[in-house]
């Protein structure tokens, strides 16, 4: 939700961020035509079949040879009684034997299970004492002295016996070469970056500074880097070196990745992009190997830019403990990055651009001069910047004549580039679903409500619950109108959205960069307006104020423990600073038990004072509260002008938002 916007709800809800799946290596751009890329060392791995294809081909070849050379003329087997019958009839021509196995040829073919045979084999019982040799001699049968015929040729026997062994030895040699670097480093190429070089980005052209808007002050800080990459001789003539690293920090969606791509596009150099988490694997050493390979690729096509997103995934301060075997794969990867950046002389033409949302947790070795020489903070855009971003994202988008991007920019304080792009897309989806050919301003405002307030829910409320919700939201809205310096009320609704049964939307007319104590007290008082209205009208409260109380508690504790707005605590910080930061046991910054109790006491005192003020104002302006609730029950949704008119409160001297 955009900062500066103050939605109120009667039911607590939360939203889950969409899963993110980081992509593999991406490379944009190609080396200049006058600087050919040297071929990689070793064999041409792009033409080498994968190992499983080699294994499959070997087994297929073995099966083919066996099927081709196994003889089809296997001897028919007859029992010994049938053999003696044919022998007594004088139908046996020749025989040969080995042990009790007898093979032979008949004078005339005989029928065996519907098949005529002349060659046969049989087994002579070991207990037979029929003087077979004498009988054969009497019948004139030729007894051969050569060994009995083999089922298979000798070479096929050797192939069957030793072929699998030879195949396994060959595969072992192949795998050994792969592990030693024959496949590009690591086991099966795990240590090799899967980079794919393309000449153009999506859309048919590379990103440039024309695609980046709203962060002009950041662009100014990277212009000379672009000029260095374009005209390196001009800088080398005076002994200047290319900065080795640029660290971009800022909130998610502010355009850090787009800025890095535009930097590479303006300079016309290859752009290697990777997420820091892609370096980490369970196999120790793989991350460091991937780092080495990535930097080697960049140096081969220099000048180039390496972009590492979410650097804090591997760049956190070292010393936080070791993994299995006492070896921390993350620290090894970080050490390799430090080593590679130290290896730059400034003449390679390779610059590392990294982005992070948590620069405070990075290892100090990354932030020293000579590594990330420049640290640039990418802040959310102001109203002028938001209008410029909206112009970029509406290129080629059919907008209706009633759309004012300046007005839309004023209604979206705190939103970053990604939020504004999503807003335009949601508006386009709404327009398309209604069969419209242009996006109207109503489509964009409905999309804004959906993003900030949540999607409408089609549920049926009882009349009593609907009436209570109307008073709850009227309490929020009326206090927002009465408290001096509060953000103007932009919309009030009792239509269920998301997990809330009703919402009150407040947004400032101008961007705020600092908040005084009076404004924050007003935020707390307004947030307690729903609970106070229920107390004043019904004499009791419900669970509908859960999310309001969470917001109130967070603001009050920060006023007391971080911003020095409590005389009892004084101008000191006694609470953790960053989002999600906690103090670990024994942390020297952790306050004493008595100080923590004092923080709780002061927080409760501040909230109680604001709650008493909220009830006092609502009792004093009860007719206006009833009028606003009645208008909500009748119309369900009130825009800015109608809400102030229904409450009988003069509209502040600011231009209302449509």
Give me the active site residues, please.
473
Q: How many Cβ atoms sit within 10 Å of the Cβ of residue 581?
A: 11
Q: In what order do the strands lie in the sheet with 374-378?
A: 197-198, 26-28, 271-275, 304-309, 350-356, 245-250, 374-378
What number of helices (H) and strands (E) belong to the chain? 22, 16
Q: How far is CA 466 from CA 412, 473, 643, in A?
A: 29, 11, 18
The answer to whether 105 and 93 are in contact (CB under 8 A) is: yes
The candidate with the shortest Cα–Cα distance to 93, out of 83, 81, 80, 104, is 104
Closest to 140 in 3D by CA, of 206, 82, 89: 89
Nearest residue to 498 via CA among 19, 12, 6, 4: 12
d(CA 313, CA 412): 31
Q: Among candidates 110, 112, 111, 92, which has minimal Cα distance to 102?
A: 92
What is the arrangement of strands in the sheet containing 101-112, beginning at the earlier edge strand? 76-77, 115-123, 101-112, 92-98, 142-143
Q: Are 519 and 480 in contact (CB under 8 A)?
A: no
**Does a cis peptide bond (omega within 30 degrees of 0) precede residue 479?**
no
Instruction: Determine phi and psi for 307, rounding to 5 degrees.
Output: -115, 125
Q: How far apart are CA 150 and CA 190, in angstroms?
A: 49
With H, G, I as helix, E, B as strand and everything else as coil, classify residue 475.
Answer: helix
Q: Which residues contact 186 (CB under 8 A, 6 or more apart)?
A: 179, 192, 283, 285, 286, 289
């Amino acid at each position: 939700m955009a900062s500066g916007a103050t939605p109120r709800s009667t039911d607590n809800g939360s939203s889950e961020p969409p899963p993110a799946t980081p992509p593999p290596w991406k490379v944009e751009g190609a080396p200049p035509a006058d600087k050919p890329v040297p071929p990689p060392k070793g064999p041409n791995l792009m033409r080498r079949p994968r190992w499983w294809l080699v294994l499959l081909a070997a087994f297929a070849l073995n099966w083919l040879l066996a099927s081709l050379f196994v003889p089809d003329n296997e001897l028919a087997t007859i029992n010994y009684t049938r053999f003696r019958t044919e022998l007594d009839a004088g139908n046996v021509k020749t025989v040969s034997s080995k042990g009790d196995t007898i093979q032979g040829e008949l004078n005339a073919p005989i029928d065996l299970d519907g098949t005529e045979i002349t060659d046969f084999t049989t087994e002579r019982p070991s207990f037979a004492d029929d003087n077979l040799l004498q009988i054969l001699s009497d019948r004139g049968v030729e007894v051969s002295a050569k060994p009995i015929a083999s089922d298979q040729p000798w070479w096929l026997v050797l192939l069957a016996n030793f072929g699998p062994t030879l195949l396994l030895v060959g595969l072992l040699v192949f795998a050994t070469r792969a592990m030693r670097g024959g496949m590009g480093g690591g086991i099966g190429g795990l240590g090799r970056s899967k980079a794919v070089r393309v000449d153009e980005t999506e859309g048919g052209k590379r990103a440039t500074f024309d695609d980046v808007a709203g962060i002009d002050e950041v662009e100014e800080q990277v212009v000379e880097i672009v000029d260095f990459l374009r005209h390196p001789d001009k800088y080398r003539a005076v002994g200047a070196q290319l900065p080795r690293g640029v660290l971009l920090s800022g909130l998610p969606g502010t355009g850090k990745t787009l800025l890095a791509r535009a930097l590479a596009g303006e300079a016309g150099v290859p752009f290697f992009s990777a997420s820091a988490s892609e370096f980490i694997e369970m196999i120790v050493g793989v991350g460091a190997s991937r780092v080495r390979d990535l930097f080697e690729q960049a140096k081969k096509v220099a000048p180039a830019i390496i972009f590492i997103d979410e650097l804090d995934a591997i760049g956190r301060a070292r010393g936080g403990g070791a993994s299995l075997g006492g070896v921390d794969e993350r620290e090894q990867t970080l050490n390799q990055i430090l080593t590679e950046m130290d290896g730059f002389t400034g003449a390679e033409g390779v610059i590392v651009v990294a982005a992070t949302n948590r620069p405070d947790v990075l290892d100090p070795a990354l932030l020293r001069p000579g590594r990330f020489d420049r640290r640039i903070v990418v802040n959310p855009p102001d109203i002028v910047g938001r209008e410029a971003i909206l112009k970029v994202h509406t290129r080629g988008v059919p907008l209706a004549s009633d759309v004012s991007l300046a007005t839309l920019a004023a209604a979206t304080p705190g939103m970053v580039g990604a939020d504004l792009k999503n807003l335009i897309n949601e508006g386009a989806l709404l327009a398309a679903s209604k069969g419209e050919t242009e996006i109207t301003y109503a489509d964009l405002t409905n999309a804004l409500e959906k993003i900030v307030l949540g999607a409408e829910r089609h549920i049926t409320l009882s009349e009593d619950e609907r009436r209570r919700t109307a008073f709850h939201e009227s309490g929020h809205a009326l206090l927002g109108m009465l408290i001096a310096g509060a953000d103007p009320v932009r919309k009030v609704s009792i239509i269920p959205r998301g997990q809330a049964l009703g919402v009150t939307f407040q947004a400032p007319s101008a961007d705020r960069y600092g908040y005084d104590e009076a404004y924050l007290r007003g935020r707390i008082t307004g947030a307690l307006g729903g609970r106070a209205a229920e107390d004043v009208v019904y004499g009791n409260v419900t669970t509908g104020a859960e999310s309001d109380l969470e917001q109130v508690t967070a603001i009050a504790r920060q006023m007391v423990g971080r911003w020095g707005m409590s005389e009892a605590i004084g101008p000191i910080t006694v609470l953790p600073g960053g989002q999600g930061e906690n103090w670990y046991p024994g942390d020297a910054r952790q306050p004493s038990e008595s100080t923590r109790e004092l923080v709780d006491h002061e927080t409760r005192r501040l909230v109680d004072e604001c709650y008493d003020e909220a009830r006092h104002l609502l009792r004093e302006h009860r007719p206006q509260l009833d009028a606003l609730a009645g208008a909500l029950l009748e119309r369900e949704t009130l825009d800015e002008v109608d809400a102030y008119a229904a409450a009988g409160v003069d509209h502040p001297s600011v231009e209302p938002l449509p």
